[in-house]
Structure 1
Amino acid sequence: MGDKSTRRAFIGSFTSTGGRGVIAADVDGETGALTETGVSDAVADPSYLALATVAGDQVLYAVSETSEGAVGAFDIRGRAPRPIGARVPVCGASPTHLAVHGGHLLTANYGSGSVTVLPIGPAGEPAAASGVLQHEGDGPDPDRQRGPHAHQVLPDPSGRWVLAVDLGTDSVHISALDTGTGELTRHGETPLRSGTGPRHLAFHPAGTHAYVLNELVPTLTVCRWDAGAGVLEPVGEVPVLPDGTEGPAYPSEVVVAPDGRRLWAANRGHDSIAVLSLDGSGERAELITTVPCGGRWPRDLTLDPSGRRLYAANERSGDVTWFDLDPETGVPRRAGSLDAPAASCVVFL
């Protein structure tokens, strides 16, 4: 029997290309269907979202992926998101990702190649930036890697470290957050294969491995993760498209199954979802198949809280498409979609 309760989801979108901002939706627990309940355009280009519990209430945060760069907070107790306070600058350009860690917001600023820390206030409002960690370096691609481009930032499963994936420097930067001062301290940097353009990573549920999805080549880099030492070690690289695939492809997002047996990656251009198997240790990944993403230009993939469904935010076709996952093979089967112009991400409450 499926879960008949109703969950909530929130969709980010690019207002500069026709999106309506942050969309709230109900999620049918039985079918996974999304039904829009309200929208807010209070933040320009809210391309990535994150949730946190503050004083017993859930608060939604959004980056504003603009040249000025900002974050905004939303009260989500009503049917439509309602802004909390004013947008706060991130002291960086074009933030593409954010995470909540240790009572702070962390943003990855693609344009400026930096990571910003902003304390969270008592009502959930973001405060002025308490620290900015600037990345340095470049890569061989003259169009995309002339300087650092931090694309994702997230805490590791142990909570001891902050990892920032930098497309411009072909590396993952590792730092530690001082929750008292709100500052990041550099700890290390793991170089990946030159020119791969790492974009996002996801951890194995055991916390012993991480999987870095590359944007400039359609591959996944498998890494060991030592949480005690804060060391990331690449151990292999596997394709996320079948041999002989023609045409450009720009992988965007990677998610790992709660049981650690499967991994999914979105491929823009090829407009597909790759299904990879993981061995028992989490150290060996293998491409099984790809399936259509249900639209065009899948910018984000998200598992629902049950781990039984996968949602693709298809930016250029303007929809969020959901898939039922085969419990044995992990292969997605399209089950429905919701119109969402310029959709960029989905998060679940």
Structure 2
Amino acid sequence: MPTPASRAAVHVLTGSYTPDTGGEGTGLATLRLDPSTGGLSYDDEVPPLPVSGASFLAAHPTLDVVYSTNETDPGAVSAVSRRHDGVLAPLGSPADSGGTNPCHLTVHPDGNWLLTAHYGSEKAPGSVAVHRLDTDGSLLEPADLVVHDGSGPVIGRQEGSHAHQILVDPAGRFVLATDLGADAVFTYRLDPRAGTLERTAVNRLRAGSGPRHLAFAPDGERVFSADELSSTLTCHRYDAATGTLTAVATVPATTALDVVNQPGGIVASPCGRYVWLTNRGADTVAAFDVSGAIPEPVGETPSGGGRPRGLAYAAGHLLVANQHSGTVVALRVLDDGRLQASGPGVSVSSVVCALVL
């Protein structure tokens, strides 16, 4: 750990908030990572593509198509095609996402469905939606919308539900949706023909924890939650037969005690031994050894900017999207899971996510 990286450049797509969504970014921009040095640079051959409120990105499993949230009220989702030379182009018009402030999306492994999580607003609860995809990856009609319920004890953040992530478990059997407002992870089955969601379980997590994102270990037997409101990391056992979670251990997300901290992105290592998460407030990326029952902190590294949010693994590096400083940096992963500042980063205004292509 890590496995030897190819010296070929790695292409990375970033998403940022645009002026109409409170940011200063252009939407989508393409970068190159040099795995040998950790240096990042703009891909000058691929111009940025304006996409409103591109706060999260997901790739189609078999097509050169990427999907972006348009984190607006009402919300939308966009499909973007990538030509053979990497140039980006809209694939049809943005589609109504069915809810408010979509903040996360994923494509089902069968390539037929786009799943979207809506954070919601003061007036609209969080929800999850399904869109059918055409054979070329373009967005077709909505197939389902499920509104979440629930609340939590944190005033100002948990008066109602706020779906924050939607993902498919490693076996492809269940769809999981974290809800920061309800302190819950909702489990669904997706009907592969109709595209409808059937709720099969509600996993209640610690009150006030505010689960934001999950990351599965490669074995599919454990899943880790970045708990935004309690500034913690929780390890859960995952029952692949029922789609249910059982909390095993919770540890602090950062050693910094003098700041208000909110974990953001979370990634599990390909080998399954380490988990990393961003700390917004401490402005660090924390590394944990999760080979035992209790996650053990092994290091905490400056994120290279302010308010680190998105996190992605690529060729022995972690790519960190620092929202407030508008920078993307690469941190080299060492053999013991710790991180080390690597090559020069790049400026990407209001950047919040990165997708390795």
TM-score above 0.5 = yes
Partner of 2:28: 22
Alignment of structure 1 residues 61-210 onto 2, 5 Å? 61-77=67-83, 78-101=85-108, 102=110, 103-111=112-120, 112-210=125-223
Given the alignment of the two structures, is residue 219 of structure 1 paired with residue 232 of structure 2, yes or no?
yes
Q: Which amino acid aligns with 1:300?
A: G
Query: Structure 2 vs 1, CA of residues 136 and 125 (structure 1 numbering), >3 Å: closer, same or farther?
Result: same
Matches of 2:235 and 2:323, distance apart in 1: 27
Give the gaps of 5 or more residues in structure 1. none
- Measured after TM superposition, the shift of residue 195 of structure 1 is 0.6
Matches of 1:9 and 1:331, distance apart in 2: 20
Could you give the per-residue CA deviations for residues 2-51 of structure 1, whole angstroms, max 9, x where no partner exists?
52222311000000310111001233243343332334444211110011
Partner of 2:318: 310
Task: Give the number of equivalent residue pairs.
Answer: 342
State the secondary structure of the residue aligned to 1:75: strand
The percentage of counterpart residues that share the same residue type is: 36
Give the gaps of 5 or more residues in structure 2. none
Please, which of 249, 256, 261 is the counterpart of residue 268 of structure 2? 256
Partner of 1:3: 6
Contact 2:40–2:329 (CA under 8 A) maintained in structure 1: no
Q: Which amino acid aligns with 1:4?
A: R
Could you give the per-residue CA deviations for residues 113-159 of structure 1, whole angstroms, max 9, x where no partner exists?
10000111122111121101111111111200111000000000000
Partner of 1:294: 304
Could you give the per-residue CA deviations for residues 50-98 of structure 1, whole angstroms, max 9, x where no partner exists?
11145xx311110001111111111112443110000001110001100
Q: Which amino acid aligns with 2:340?
A: P
Matches of 1:180 and 1:336, distance apart in 2: 47
Could you give the per-residue CA deviations for residues 98-125 of structure 1, whole angstroms, max 9, x where no partner exists?
0010311101100131000011112211
Structure with larger RCO (C-alpha < 8 A, sep 6+): 2
Contact 2:76–2:94 (CA under 8 A) maintained in structure 1: yes
State the secondary structure of the residue aligned to 1:158: coil
Contact 1:25–1:35 (CA under 8 A) maintained in structure 2: yes
Could you give the per-residue CA deviations for residues 183-242 of structure 1, whole angstroms, max 9, x where no partner exists?
110010111110111100100111000001111111011100011122211122111112
Query: Structure 2 vs 1, CA of residues 331 and 43 (structure 1 numbering), >3 Å: closer, same or farther?
Result: closer
Given the alignment of the two structures, is residue 341 of structure 1 paired with residue 349 of structure 2, yes or no?
yes
Query: Structure 2 vs 1, CA of residues 39 and 141 (structure 1 numbering), >3 Å: closer, same or farther?
Result: farther
Please, which of 5, 12, 15 is the counterpart of residue 12 of structure 1? 15
Contact 2:331–2:339 (CA under 8 A) maintained in structure 1: no
- Measured after TM superposition, the shift of residue 268 of structure 1 is 0.3
User: What TM-score, normalized by structure 2, do the two folds share?
Assistant: 0.92
Q: Which amino acid aligns with 1:58?
A: D
Matches of 2:67 and 2:39, distance apart in 1: 23
Contact 1:164–1:174 (CA under 8 A) maintained in structure 2: yes
State the secondary structure of the residue aligned to 2:94: strand
Matches of 1:3 and 1:36, distance apart in 2: 19
Matches of 1:59 and 1:30, distance apart in 2: 28
